[in-house]
Structure 1
Amino acid sequence: MKPSLHSLLLWLLLCVCAVPVMAQPTTPAPPELDARGYLLVDFHTGKTLAELNADERLEPASLTKIMTAYAVFRELAAQRIKLDDQVLVSEKAWRTGGSKMFIEVGKRVSLEDLLKGMIIQSGNDASVALAEYVSGNVESFANLMNAHAQRLGMTHSHFTNPNGLPDPELYTTARDMARVAVALIREFPEYYAWYSNLEFTYNGITQPNRNPLLRRDPSADGIKTGYTKAAGYCLIGSAKRDDMRLISVVMGSSSPRARAEASLALLNYGFRTYESHKLYPVGQPIENLRVWFGEQETLAAGPERDVVATIPRGQYDKLSARLEKTPDLNAPIAQGERLGEVVIALGTEEVTRIPLVALQELPKGGLWRYAKDSFLRMF
């Protein structure tokens, strides 16, 4: 007896349903770490790759010195101070407890040596000497630190001293510390190079850099450790492999070994799981846009800064780009004026938006151009 058409269709349907459906690849979960809070971000895009309690208020300990260095670097950039300035060491700076550069009261020390003593040796005494030289006293310098923190968007941070010694009103978050670390590296690469120095000698005393990543990961080049009993063991790390730089923040680990292992685990997870691609460099023309009433009809437009996408590994072929252009552009247009946005997407998910700007100036055209464009716009 031949099977009916209905039974054949039912058999085919059961066969199709029995075929296993291939699941979409998922991003591996970050490792479990010994830390009260942590954060892993891509330096170029700011994309968060892993986090735990990243916005919880925590004590920064000597991570504070990253903000101290940033504030001093800003003063150097403004040419209000110089690296070869000779700083008189006060009794307050000399008496500061904790880790020391071993400066001596009444002696003069170059600003550059004080910075290296703070960055490489984590000198609390050097931090106070720098604060007093820049702002007159520690309290005024703390106000400067807080002003920079607000400008950088560190809305959950408050600083009361330049070295991170315990204070009930001294606090931050892992996310805020990542913000200042990124700003320091981006704005001051020439000074950031000091963070990878393995040791520094002052007054005949050589001290090693306290950052264990520098000796355990050849791609690591910064940035700072911290410890107090209340804060636990903290470490902000930075590493660069090929064109990808990651920033890791680990706060509140139980031991020096735990913070080092947590930082390495985060960095390795990020580099293993994600990849970054520079899609359009800053200043590269992407499109010639139609402009009305200008000396010429079109104007070259490009990204305001490098267009970089951080995505899970193996997903590059799913990236797409589009331009969202400002309608009805009219001359005159200044160089750098915003003309729209470059939008990068991974499948249906938006990855990043970068302003699209004019790559040169376009002055207003003459009477003939005005009359011609007015006529064309009517139709």
Structure 2
Amino acid sequence: MYVSRLHRAVTLALSLAVLTAGAGCVPALAQKPPASGFETKATYAVVMDAGANLMLFEKDADTLMVPASMSKMMTLAVLFREMKAGRFTLDSEFKVSEHAWRTGGAPSGTSAMFAPLNTMVKISDLIPGVTVQSANDGAIIIAEGVAGTEEAFAKEMTAYARKIGMEQSTFVNATGLPAEGQLMTARELAVLARHLVYTYPEYYHFFGMKEFRYRDKFTFHNRNPLVLADIGVDGLKTGFVKESGYGLTISGTRGNQRLIVVVNGLATPKEREAEARRLLEWGFKSFKPFRLFDEGEKVSDALVWGGTSHYVPLVGDGNINIILPVTTSGKVSASIVYDGPIKAPIKKGDQVAILRITSDDSSATNEIPLYAGDDIGQSNFAYRGLDSLLLLAFGWLL
């Protein structure tokens, strides 16, 4: 691992850029949250800056818990994946089996969209059935339509969770109804919510629908009260079973900043709404993006082995910003980390390094991917040999 300190002029520019803050999305990786002194009644909670993938607050974030209907976000993630791959469309239809009807429909006494037994239901109705009404029959119909059985679909849910970095969550059904082994963490609910926002923007709007009319017979209103509250919340999912209490995962924007909030283990629906709103407001008031580099602006250079140039310029994917407390002093430290020297050839746009930013005002670390700003071709054999000698003799001090 090669660590290169930024040149003095660039380090000074970082401090000045922070003091003259700009706004924008931040492509960074989550690290430890800053100490905040903030408290919540929720047993489990996180606040994430979605653009930065940075945790701003957490409480028992990695403790496995019963997610209830919040696990339906993974049900939809699997469906969206299949739709994006072209296997299904919004006009595709799935059959209402007796299992779906009896376990999640009218006879179950749970939240349902009341799809009639043995009928066909379009995906365009099943999605809002789940996002708005939290329909258990809708979730099972999706599971069986995609994978044949709910059990097989639950295995796909768990496999997909692992693929996107959810290492602890496991699923045994598509609904979140009480079942041994149906467990998630608050952190991984936030990871899943962020994945839905950025991977499936063409379908994310279903989470923000205020109402859904089905079969000209039922009008369902979104069970997520904050979608209706005009505070910038545009989706995600409620949950409740006796084993877990009341939970809620929400996402919302103010300007160019998007936050995700997860709470669970609350005593009443009103408490769930109040705590999620309070965490959201705290996050927006306490943190904001600060501009470091404009789109296309060179951050620094990385060393290259065997290339037509000994250096490759490093740039961000668009503007480079970091998330800091609004009261920040502007004092930050920066380093560039990469495995190197980087072997040529290198294509413009390849991710080759990380810009690591720490602040005196926060224990959070912003880690921002950096990309090659130019193509670097491979040099001839003689020059590659010379590069090897320089590396052995001088540790690449060019």
The residue number in structure 2 matching 1:62 is: 69
In structure 2, C-alpha distance between the alignment counterparts of 1:375 and 1:125, rounded to whole Å: 67
* Matched residue type, 2:167: T
Q: CA deviation at 1:62?
A: 0.6
Q: CA deviation at 1:364?
A: 2.2
- Secondary structure of residue in 2 paired with 1:317: coil
Alignment RMSD (CA, Å)? 2.8
The residue number in structure 2 matching 1:123 is: 135
Mapping of residues 142-161 of structure 1, within 5 Å:
142-161=154-173
Q: CA deviation at 1:315?
A: 1.1
* Matched residue type, 1:29: G
- Aligned partner (choices 233, 239, 247) of residue 260 of structure 2: 247
Does the Cα contact within 8 Å between 1:27 and 1:273 map onto a contact in 2?
A: no
Q: Is 1:358 matched up with 2:368? A: no
Does the Cα contact within 8 Å between 1:305 and 1:354 map onto a contact in 2?
A: no
- Secondary structure of residue in 2 paired with 1:164: coil
In structure 1, C-alpha distance between the alignment counterparts of 2:142 and 2:260, rounded to whole Å: 26
Relative to 1, partners in 2 of residues 1:328 and 1:49: Cα closer, same or farther, differing over 3 Å?
closer
- Aligned partner (choices 84, 88, 105) of residue 117 of structure 2: 105
- Secondary structure of residue in 1 paired with 2:126: helix
Does the Cα contact within 8 Å between 2:239 and 2:246 map onto a contact in 1?
A: yes
Q: Is 1:227 matched up with 2:240? A: yes
In structure 2, C-alpha distance between the alignment counterparts of 1:283 and 1:77, rounded to whole Å: 30
- Aligned partner (choices 202, 213, 220) of residue 214 of structure 2: 202
Q: CA deviation at 1:231?
A: 1.8
Does the Cα contact within 8 Å between 1:45 and 1:309 map onto a contact in 2?
A: yes
The gaps in structure 1 that reach 5 residues or longer are 1-25
Relative to 1, partners in 2 of residues 1:290 and 1:235: Cα closer, same or farther, differing over 3 Å?
closer
Q: CA deviation at 1:278?
A: 4.7
Mapping of residues 144-293 of structure 1, within 5 Å:
144-204=156-216, 205-280=218-293, 285-287=298-300, 289=302, 291=304, 293=306
Deviates more, 1:283-292 or 1:155-164: 283-292
Q: CA deviation at 1:232?
A: 1.2
Mapping of residues 330-341 of structure 1, within 5 Å:
330-341=343-354
* Matched residue type, 1:119: T
In structure 2, C-alpha distance between the alignment counterparts of 1:360 and 1:179, rounded to whole Å: 32
Q: CA deviation at 1:369?
A: 6.9
The residue number in structure 2 matching 1:318 is: 331
Q: CA deviation at 1:52?
A: 1.9
Q: Is 1:301 matched up with 2:314? A: yes
In structure 1, C-alpha distance between the alignment counterparts of 2:54 and 2:269, rounded to whole Å: 27
Q: CA deviation at 1:350?
A: 6.7
Does the Cα contact within 8 Å between 1:44 and 1:308 map onto a contact in 2?
A: no
Q: CA deviation at 1:27?
A: 6.4
In structure 2, C-alpha distance between the alignment counterparts of 1:56 and 1:165, rounded to whole Å: 19
* Matched residue type, 1:261: A
- Secondary structure of residue in 2 paired with 1:140: helix
Q: CA deviation at 1:94?
A: 1.8
Does the Cα contact within 8 Å between 1:304 and 1:354 map onto a contact in 2?
A: no
Larger radius of gyration: 1
The residue number in structure 1 matching 2:14 is: none
- Aligned partner (choices 59, 64, 81) of residue 74 of structure 1: 81
- Aligned partner (choices 91, 97, 117) of residue 98 of structure 2: 91
Q: Deviations over 1:102-132 (max 9, x none)?
A: 2111211111211111111111111000000
Relative to 1, partners in 2 of residues 1:241 and 1:297: Cα closer, same or farther, differing over 3 Å?
same
Does the Cα contact within 8 Å between 1:309 and 1:351 map onto a contact in 2?
A: no
Deviates more, 1:233-242 or 1:310-319: 310-319
The residue number in structure 1 matching 2:10 is: none
Does the Cα contact within 8 Å between 2:304 and 2:311 map onto a contact in 1?
A: yes
Q: Deviations over 1:79-112 (max 9, x none)?
A: 2222211212212212222111121112111112
Relative to 1, partners in 2 of residues 1:206 and 1:280: Cα closer, same or farther, differing over 3 Å?
farther
More relative contact order, 1 or 2 (CA 8 Å, 6+ apart): 2
The residue number in structure 1 matching 2:47 is: 40
Deviates more, 1:211-220 or 1:364-373: 364-373
